[in-house]
């Protein structure tokens, strides 16, 4: 199948099967596992995974196009698939051949669901505070600790756990990543978290109590955890940028349709500059977010350094998503503020994008740090 056909078929499927369920997914606060697996069966969980591991072997641009469409149908499921893709990406780039063969084909088909567990009650933006410990005992590692706000956590079959394996010479945490299978004794879901938005992504609080992990489940090398995590988060950032675009375009489209149809004071709302002008601004900002995100994806596909661009894309797209959702609620009046409209949900979902995969403030820190590396040459 050519690339355009894959996207056209995916769009059809998302519109028919996922979009009508998006409000129910939010209401239930549950990851719809059956739908997740169906997406896998359609071949849509491995856009950038090479064909020899069952993926489509396509470039990042195609993945981004798909994520935008998925976010239009269900931002929650798009967040869930973001994490799943981050896990695939990390295994693909850092895994041993046996690990790739064991996990990737099943993940691509949706038979295995992945989660990426970094955040802890005491460690959010600051990874140096990670305290989940790992000690090496014989041919095993033993993990103890807690992970919180873990997307897919309620149902995941495998977790990439970021744990502390020591302290480096500068007193910073030495981190490593372990593939922890769900059946591991001592791994428990403490509770499902009631987030305000992104409620269909199975976000959970996980505890690890003397979890024995076979040595062959170390991902990469001991001490490589920071790099693996940052690399996975690059995928997370660009995916959240795409979700932001999906939400903003839904908000814009719905607002235009409604403000043409709805009449007050003898005119359609869109005729009032107070309604029409902000929509014109959002249309421009949405296009700018799209260009920025595709530029980042294009650089990523070419293997260039993208930290600056993925942070810019994430910061900007998610901001446009929140702005457009706030505007959409306002334009729809009381209807927009009601659950029935589905528009207040887009606002709740959009806000989560400014926090997950590195907050907006952290993106600004990265941007200024990257720009400071080459002063006068940017």
| Contact status: 359 vs ligand FAD (CB under 6 A) | yes
Of 252, 243, 300, 323, nearest in space to 22 by CA: 243
In the complex, what is the shortest distance from the CB of residue 311 to ligand FAD, in angstroms, rounded to a whole number? 13
| Contact status: 316 vs ligand FAD (CB under 6 A) | no
Stretch in the footprint of ligand FAD (CB under 6 A) among 21-29, 184-192, 244-252, 351-359: 351-359
CA dist 31 and 104 (Å) reads: 21
| Contact status: 306 vs ligand FAD (CB under 6 A) | no
Going by the DSSP 8-state scheme, the letter that residue 188 receives in this structure is E
The alpha carbon dihedral of 118, 123, 127, 132 has a sign of negative
Q: How many CB atoms lie within 10 A of CB 378?
A: 9
| Contact status: 239 vs ligand FAD (CB under 6 A) | no
The binder of ligand FAD chosen from 66, 116, 159, 294 (CB under 6 A) = 116
Q: Helices (DSSP H) in the chain: which residue ranges?
A: 3-13, 22-28, 33-41, 60-73, 75-94, 97-109, 225-261, 273-301, 307-331, 333-336, 343-353, 360-373
In the complex, what is the shortest distance from the CB of residue 49 to ligand FAD, in angstroms, rounded to a whole number? 19
| Contact status: 355 vs ligand FAD (CB under 6 A) | yes
Given its phi and psi angles, is residue 96 left (phi above 0), alpha (psi -120 to 50 degrees) or beta?
Answer: beta
In the three-class reduction of DSSP (H, G, I as helix; E, B as strand; rest coil), residue 55 is classed as coil
Which of residues 18 and 355 has its CB atom nearest to ligand FAD in the complex? 355
Which of residues 48 and 239 has its CB atom nearest to ligand FAD in the complex? 239
In the complex, what is the shortest distance from the CB of residue 257 to ligand FAD, in angstroms, rounded to a whole number? 28
Known catalytic residue: 357?
A: yes
Out of 304, 357, 361, 370, the active site residue is 357
Binding mask of the shown chain, residues 198 to 217, with x at each position contacting ligand FAD by CB under 6 A: x----x--------------
Tokens of 40: 């896998």
Q: What is the length of the chain?
A: 378
| Contact status: 118 vs ligand FAD (CB under 6 A) | yes
Of 77, 72, 76, nearest in space to 15 by CA: 72
Which of residues 22 and 259 has its CB atom nearest to ligand FAD in the complex? 22
Q: Which residues lie near ligand FAD (CB under 6 A)?
A: 79, 83, 116-119, 124-125, 149-151, 195, 198, 203, 352, 355-356, 358-359, 361-362, 365
């Amino acid at each position: 199948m050519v690339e355009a056909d894959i996207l056209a078929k995916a769009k059809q499927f998302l519109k028919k099967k996922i979009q009508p369920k998006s409000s129910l997914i939010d209401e239930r606060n549950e990851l719809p596992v059956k739908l997740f697996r169906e997406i896998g069966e359609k071949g849509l969980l491995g856009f950038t995974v090479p064909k020899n591991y069952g993926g489509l072997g396509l470039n990042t641009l195609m993945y981004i196009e798909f994520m935008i469409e998925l976010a239009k149908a269900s931002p929650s499921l798009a967040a869930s698939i973001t994490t799943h893709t981050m896990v695939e990406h990390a295994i693909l780039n850092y895994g041993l051949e046996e690990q790739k063969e064991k996990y990737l084909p099943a993940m691509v088909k949706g038979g295995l669901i992945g989660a990426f567990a970094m955040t802890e009650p005491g460690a959010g933006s600051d990874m140096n505070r990670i305290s989940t410990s790992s000690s090496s005992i014989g041919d095993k590692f033993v993990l103890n600790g807690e992970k919180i706000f873990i997307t897919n956590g309620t149902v995941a079959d495998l977790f990439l756990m970021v744990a502390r394996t020591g302290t480096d010479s500068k007193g910073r945490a030495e981190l490593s990543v372990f593939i922890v299978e769900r059946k591991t004794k001592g791994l428990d879901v403490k509770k499902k978290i009631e987030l305000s938005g992104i409620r269909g992504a199975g976000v959970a609080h996980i505890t690890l109590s003397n979890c024995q992990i076979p040595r062959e489940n170390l991902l990469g090398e001991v001490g490589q955890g920071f790099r693996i995590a940052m690399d996975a988060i690059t995928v997370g950032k660009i995916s959240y940028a795409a979700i932001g675009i999906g939400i903003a375009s839904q908000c814009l489209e719905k607002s235009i349709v409604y403000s043409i149809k709805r009449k007050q004071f003898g005119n359609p709302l869109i005729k009032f500059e107070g309604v029409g002008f902000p929509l014109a601004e959002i249309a421009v900002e949405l296009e700018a977010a799209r260009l920025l995100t595709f530029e980042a994806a294009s650089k990523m596909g070419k293997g260039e350094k993208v930290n600056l661009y993925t942070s810019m894309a994430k910061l900007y797209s998610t901001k446009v998503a929140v702005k457009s959702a706030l505007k959409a609620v306002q334009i729809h009046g009381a209807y927009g503020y009601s659950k029935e409209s589905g528009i207040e949900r887009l606002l709740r979902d959009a806000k989560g994008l400014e926090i997950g995969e590195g907050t907006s403030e952290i993106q600004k820190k990265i941007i200024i740090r990257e720009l400071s590396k080459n002063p006068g040459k940017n």
